[in-house]
Amino acid sequence: MHKHSFDTEQRQSVLGTVFFLFLSVQRVFRIFWPFLLLYVFKGNAWKMLEPTWLIGLVVLVVLLVAHSILAWYHFYFFIKDNEFVLRKGYLKRVVIAIPFEKIVSINLKQGLIQQVLGVVQLEVDSAGSKKKEVAIYAISREVAEALQEQLGRYKTEISDSEESQTDSEQVDEKETILQLSLKDLLRIGIAKNHLRGLLVILAFGNNIYYQLKELFESEITSAADKTESFLLHSSSLALAGFIIFVLLVSLIISMAEVFLRYYDFNMKSFANAFSLQSGLLKRKNITIPFSKVQRLKRSINPIQKWLRISNIQLVQANSVEVSKDKDKVSIPGCDDQMFKELCDKIYEDPFSQQTYDMKPQRVFLYRYFTFSFLIMSIPVFALSLEFNWIWYLEILVPILAAGVAYLTYYRRSYQMSHDFLHVHSGMVAKDYSIIEVYKVQTVHIKRTFFQRRNGTASLNLGMAGSVVRIEYLSFDDAIRMKDQILYKIEVSKKKWM
């Protein structure tokens, strides 16, 4: 353990210079590529071989190399007084110190270049900052893991210091919770939401279509005419073939995505944290302390139900306002038992408490129906301007909207217990969230004009990293729930992260 001590200032691996060089080349390229492209397109490509250009290029390269070496040379990291300190910069000096208790998670990452160089990137995410503020770009995996462990250990020491130290023996004890084999990945891939793959095809197809169109205007139009007549005159067999083809492609896309993200996925649990590793090209390594989990989401779509797996997402307390999935850690392919195990690890006894069950009021069903009816009518209306026969589809819209509304209403329910709030939602898939009441940050209560008339209200619970919407409760229930939640937050002495 003491092989690596971080008490003194340390530089990154020497290979860090190469990585810094790569970063700065990338940055320069990002700024200048539009100009370069413009220049080349104006037919000036040959001018680039002239001496002035070449000299400029050489100067640029020398500057970049010098910059990378200086940046590497002035980049230090060390641990001092329970703080993780980074010192960097030669023109502008920057010192960043993060107290251990502010550290949310420590992540190891390895991009393609870093993989080639055999180094890893270590990111320290802390609360209250605007972005991933602290990152060491190039250290050997051995050093990174030692550092990760030390930072993690200090943290547990601090948080445990008030309690007894009986857990300290277990700190090093790892237990593998979940490991995904190729067969598991296959099942996860099959059960994925293929609509997304389909959208990717559409998006890219459209994009490629428009780019090609600009280049070969005339050829494309004739080709498009051909495909149109093909679609009109071809037999239903060809159409079925086309549909199967699209399905197959979206299946392949989903599979590829699953393999890239979850290849060799393994999840271990320590005394009070999880550690996850996964990825084919980009290995990701994430550590999540149990206490930082703000919300546990589980989602089961019909195919997943049939295969008896589910997707679990852990929403962490994080600094950046998330819409990106980065800090929502996905654990795919969990079965019921695994789910229970996870819950028991993170929470104390979440399911045995007595609950008070609530459901949205009936008005929600009618509002949702109206809403989805209108939303679904828009594309029908828009397309019918182009093709007349689409108008007939409008007959299907109310039926579809009724189905959507009913499923949504049926799935939605809320259970409040002394310490927990269980939220059931979803439409086709079954979604479920469990949150600890005292981790709520803000409570909004909302009543529209109509809601005031029919005696309902909606609650939005602001959590770190997500919002929990509780819609169309009876006004009394909503008020009661709000008061209880506020009360529980205010009397709680526990740290919410």
Provide long-range contacts, Cβ within 8 A and 24+ apart, for 304-309.
Answer: 304/191, 304/429, 305/430, 307/187, 307/190, 307/191, 308/335, 308/336, 309/184, 309/187, 309/188, 309/191, 309/333, 309/334, 309/335
CA–CA distance, 160 with 168 (Å, rounded to integer): 9
Stretch that binds other proteins, among 118-126, 199-207, 220-228, 354-362 (CB under 8 A): 354-362
**Sites for other proteins among residues 262-281 (CB under 8 A):** none
Stretch that binds other proteins, among 8-16, 305-313, 333-341, 444-452 (CB under 8 A): 444-452
Angstrom distances, CA of residue 123 to CA of 86, 108, 132, 202, 412: 12, 6, 7, 35, 38
**Residue among 138, 317, 343, 401 that touches other proteins (CB under 8 A):** 317
Question: Is 275 or 425 the residue whose CB approaches other proteins more closely?
Answer: 425
**Residue among 80, 226, 340, 444 that touches other proteins (CB under 8 A):** 444
**Residue among 419, 422, 424, 426 that touches other proteins (CB under 8 A):** 419
Size of the site for other proteins (CB under 8 A): 44
User: Which sign does the torsion angle of CA 213, 218, 222, 228 carry?
Assistant: positive
- Strands (E) in 40-133, as ranges, are 76-80, 83-88, 94-99, 103-110, 120-126
CA–CA distance, 40 with 52 (Å, rounded to integer): 16
**Residue among 168, 170, 353, 370 that touches other proteins (CB under 8 A):** 353
Spatial contact of 17 and 68, defined as CB atoms under 8 Å apart: yes
Q: Is 466 in the site for other proteins (CB under 8 A)?
A: yes
Q: Is 349 in the site for other proteins (CB under 8 A)?
A: yes
Backbone angles phi, psi at 386, to 5 degrees: -90, -55
Q: Is 489 in the site for other proteins (CB under 8 A)?
A: yes
Site string for other proteins, 106-145 (x = CB under 8 A): ---------------------xx-----------------
Question: Is 310 or 466 the residue whose CB approaches other proteins more closely?
Answer: 466
Question: Is 137 or 420 the residue whose CB approaches other proteins more closely?
Answer: 420
**Residue among 467, 471, 472, 474 that touches other proteins (CB under 8 A):** 467
**Residue among 352, 385, 387, 388 that touches other proteins (CB under 8 A):** 352
CA–CA distance, 15 with 393 (Å, rounded to integer): 62
Spatial contact of 437 and 483, defined as CB atoms under 8 Å apart: no
Stretch that binds other proteins, among 46-54, 204-212, 264-272, 416-424 (CB under 8 A): 416-424
| Residue 324, token pair as written in the block | 């990106």
Which residue's entry shows tokens 């506020």?
A: 486
| Residue 327, token pair as written in the block | 């800090």
Q: Is 462 in the site for other proteins (CB under 8 A)?
A: yes
Question: Is 384 or 460 the residue whose CB approaches other proteins more closely?
Answer: 460
Q: Which residues bind other proteins (CB under 8 A)?
A: 127-128, 317, 321, 349, 352-356, 416-419, 440-449, 452, 460, 462-467, 479-480, 482-484, 486-487, 489-490, 492, 496-497
